[in-house]
Structure 1
């Protein structure tokens, strides 16, 4: 008789307890291979359970390959190979792999990566979601087109033709789950020895991702107008990654003369392309938005990258790129079986959100809100720090550069800020150049999008203590 102990107080169903007991005995060898198990009725009677419980347990064992059935003869155990080595599962996860759930680790934040979600029109977004569920049931039940639904791409095309001056076909747009995965796809369209220039300081996540892919990455320094074209020529880069409308992180707005020089450079050779990351161009203060570099391109040499992470919510993970026709042909061939990763419901909701005009109205409201945040923070910092601060006050985007005249080291300032629960990022995060601690001025990237105006005074005082006291 098999020793199977069932517990009525156990959280698992009876059939599950039977299944696990038999499985453990088969694996351990307590039940040998070819052993005939009791009939369903016999075991049900022995265990005082229903025949259905035993039948369900046997069916699961058969499905997993522990037992086989012979018609009119009964159930027999399969021959199960033993593991070559004993399993030694860790009793505890290593400390560096543990994750903390719950609210963010900082009470105060000057992060450049956040947006303010408290003003997002959730009710209207959910209303559009209901419309999508009603009108697009077939569409959201299917796999997306590899580039995203054409209807959504048409809505994006119509939007950016007005806001960014971009002229393209909807078929040229590729929707993805972020700038990084899109660039990863894009780079794979080129030869493995392609040379990519990255602004320095610049977008470190893209630089690191390309390095991890084994791409030959060259750091291109900046001058007062943006990327150094002479250095690009010297390094013989084929692809140049740029943030011309609001250089990240320094905030430089590239003038028209430099833009034309870059377009002339990229047009000189067939293999050259520019990747334009237009990550926060929607937010421009005091004047109208700066036209995109792509809108000036007459030769299909600029690959435009756009995102809704700054204007909507980063968690939506909706970005897109616009490919020149020549690269679009390569993309369609390489990724014709690609499973597009975005949520169809969210994409169609975004379409309704844009076409209704609600997107443009929301961006306009947030532009005004962020401009106010920026002004309040800049004024507070200048009033408190006086001659010890130099703010690069570029009226655009969701962050600015602030330099502090202090003898304190970057690591010391970071430790003091973290002790005060203040999220703070210095220039070292974005530059591959050595940043000396003995520099008279320490450089920081200060974000203001998610700033609580009522906390500006507290944040300013905590920052002053971290930098000076």
Structure 2
């Protein structure tokens, strides 16, 4: 049998070269079905290589079904189904699908999607991780409860009761790898005719997800107090998605009267629910945190969702939702075979990170840190733009909303932002339906999480040139 590989210029191990040569000869029909292959000893002698090398190649071909063996007779070519069509040319990925990894050198970010990890206590986190490895090896080797480890759900339950006033039991908490996935799990068992409403402007990823799942999705405009209840009453809606503690993206905090209106709306018909997305409520400046909408709900109509993406590390992808009792029953019936999709080591680590007090200390430190940056950025923008800017100066969260008076257009500022290397997001990203805009104005959602204090002045200069 003629093998053509060059041992002096091999790209792989010799056994792999032999394997590839024989495999290709079989697939191309050069070696016919039931044809006998040279014995291991003869082929090794021909190629002047060790018999073990040939044995390894033959065993791999045997394992994959290219050849078979007869006792004391040797190895033979298997009868293999021919490809109906097999291109001999290498597949080339089209340019529009290719990805490039490059550092955004010189860029500054005023993104709302980031978190500052420069002050994160990685050493403390690693200590908690080591504790998990010491104490929970058995749990790490097993499939955990689909809602997440009970020990962490119990910890989260205590924490959100103290910080957000959430009323629940650990059994009502579902942990997942991001709020989007949790919403997908929640809505996956709702009837096809379910009608859904989301805030406008609002979180476009929820809107897109729900549309893609086949639901009828309507929008409810946001006024000065949040989701407009009068507009909501005109719609036949089963699920309403809101961000009452820090409306996304405008930053408005829903007052108590509007919250009660929403809760009253939810009880006027059966099967009405409010999904409260509490995405960054941990960050509140100057006053205490606003209690959650769920804390006011006495009728089991609010589904509460929270995340650790803003407070710890976005890349960890740990979120949770709190289900009313009857919704929990339906969730378990529908998702009985679901597997937990978060990193289990990270979940147990988070438990000890919270239990040890490190999480609370980190939050306190970050609140102070973010408050300083927020004030500095607002001060710089007001100084640079003067009466040409109106800022929704609501002391909460990791972004604020600003309206700039300018003759430029949204298309032009997006183009100029790339040239200036400034990451910014305009209201266009969050407008789910067309809404009336004030002429000669530009509305931006400005985040301050990752921008350094020493970079703020330069970032505002770039923003000024863009606008």
- Answer yes or no: is the 8 Å Cα contact 2:111–2:424 preserved in 1: yes
Give the distance between the partners of 2:104 and 2:72, measured in 1 at CA: 62
Give the distance between the partners of 1:394 and 1:90, measured in 2 at CA: 57
Give the distance between the partners of 1:87 and 1:397, measured in 2 at CA: 55
- Answer yes or no: is the 8 Å Cα contact 1:132–1:345 preserved in 2: yes
Structure 1 counterpart of 2:87: 87
Q: Deviations over 1:383-425 (max 9, x none)?
A: 0111111111111000011111111110101111111111011
Q: How many angstroms does 1:91 deviate by?
A: 5.5
* 3-state SS of paired residue (1:235): coil
* 3-state SS of paired residue (1:400): strand
Structure 2 counterpart of 1:416: 416
Structure 2 counterpart of 1:443: 443
Q: How many angstroms does 1:89 deviate by?
A: 5.7
Structure 2 counterpart of 1:187: 187
Q: CA, structure 1 residues 89+376, in 2 after alignment: closer, same or farther (shift >3 Å)?
A: farther
Give the distance between the partners of 2:202 and 2:459, measured in 1 at CA: 26
Structure 2 counterpart of 1:367: 367
* 3-state SS of paired residue (1:262): helix
Q: How many angstroms does 1:457 deviate by?
A: 1.3
Structure 2 counterpart of 1:313: 313
Give the distance between the partners of 1:393 and 1:192, measured in 2 at CA: 41
Give the distance between the partners of 2:199 and 2:273, measured in 1 at CA: 15
Give the distance between the partners of 2:106 and 2:409, measured in 1 at CA: 21
Structure 1 counterpart of 2:235: 235
Structure 2 counterpart of 1:403: 403
Q: How many angstroms does 1:226 deviate by?
A: 0.7
Structure 2 counterpart of 1:335: 335
Structure 2 counterpart of 1:203: 203
Q: CA, structure 1 residues 13+90, in 2 after alignment: closer, same or farther (shift >3 Å)?
A: closer
Give the distance between the partners of 1:340 and 1:302, measured in 2 at CA: 23
- Answer yes or no: is the 8 Å Cα contact 1:6–1:17 preserved in 2: no
Give the distance between the partners of 1:268 and 1:12, measured in 2 at CA: 71
Give the distance between the partners of 1:442 and 1:163, measured in 2 at CA: 36
- Answer yes or no: is the 8 Å Cα contact 1:4–1:18 preserved in 2: no
Moved more, 135-144 or 90-99: 90-99
* 3-state SS of paired residue (1:81): coil
Moved more, 82-91 or 242-251: 82-91
Q: CA, structure 1 residues 458+126, in 2 after alignment: closer, same or farther (shift >3 Å)?
A: same
Structure 2 counterpart of 1:159: 159
Give the distance between the partners of 2:88 and 2:196, measured in 1 at CA: 45
Q: Deviations over 1:316-351 (max 9, x none)?
A: 000000000001111111111111111111001100
Q: Give the structure-2-normalised TM-score.
A: 0.97
Q: 1:95-134 residue pairs with structure 2 within 5 A?
A: 95-104=95-104, 107-134=107-134
Q: How many angstroms does 1:278 deviate by?
A: 0.2
How many residue pairs match? The answer is 467
- Answer yes or no: is the 8 Å Cα contact 2:146–2:338 preserved in 1: yes
* 3-state SS of paired residue (2:145): coil
Structure 2 counterpart of 1:23: 23
Give the distance between the partners of 2:321 and 2:70, measured in 1 at CA: 59
Q: Deviations over 1:400-451 (max 9, x none)?
A: 1111111111010111111111101100100123367882211000000111
Give the distance between the partners of 1:440 and 1:190, measured in 2 at CA: 43
Moved more, 79-88 or 60-69: 79-88
* 3-state SS of paired residue (2:234): helix
Structure 1 residue runs of 5 or longer lacking an equivalent are: none
Pairing 1:140–2:140 present: yes
Give the distance between the partners of 1:9 and 1:327, measured in 2 at CA: 64
- Answer yes or no: is the 8 Å Cα contact 1:196–1:215 preserved in 2: yes
- Answer yes or no: is the 8 Å Cα contact 1:189–1:327 preserved in 2: no
Structure 1 counterpart of 2:263: 263
Q: How many angstroms does 1:90 deviate by?
A: 6.3
- Answer yes or no: is the 8 Å Cα contact 2:207–2:432 preserved in 1: no
Structure 1 counterpart of 2:59: 59
Give the distance between the partners of 1:338 and 1:106, measured in 2 at CA: 44
Q: CA, structure 1 residues 425+20, in 2 after alignment: closer, same or farther (shift >3 Å)?
A: same
Q: How many angstroms does 1:224 deviate by?
A: 1.1
Root mean square deviation, CA, Å? 1.4
- Answer yes or no: is the 8 Å Cα contact 1:229–1:262 preserved in 2: yes
* 3-state SS of paired residue (1:85): coil
Structure 1 counterpart of 2:295: 295
* 3-state SS of paired residue (1:274): strand
Give the distance between the partners of 1:98 and 1:225, measured in 2 at CA: 45
- Answer yes or no: is the 8 Å Cα contact 2:427–2:444 preserved in 1: yes
Q: How many angstroms does 1:92 deviate by?
A: 4.0
Q: Deviations over 1:93-113 (max 9, x none)?
A: 323322222434761111000
Q: Deviations over 1:31-64 (max 9, x none)?
A: 1111100011111111111111111111111111
* 3-state SS of paired residue (2:303): strand
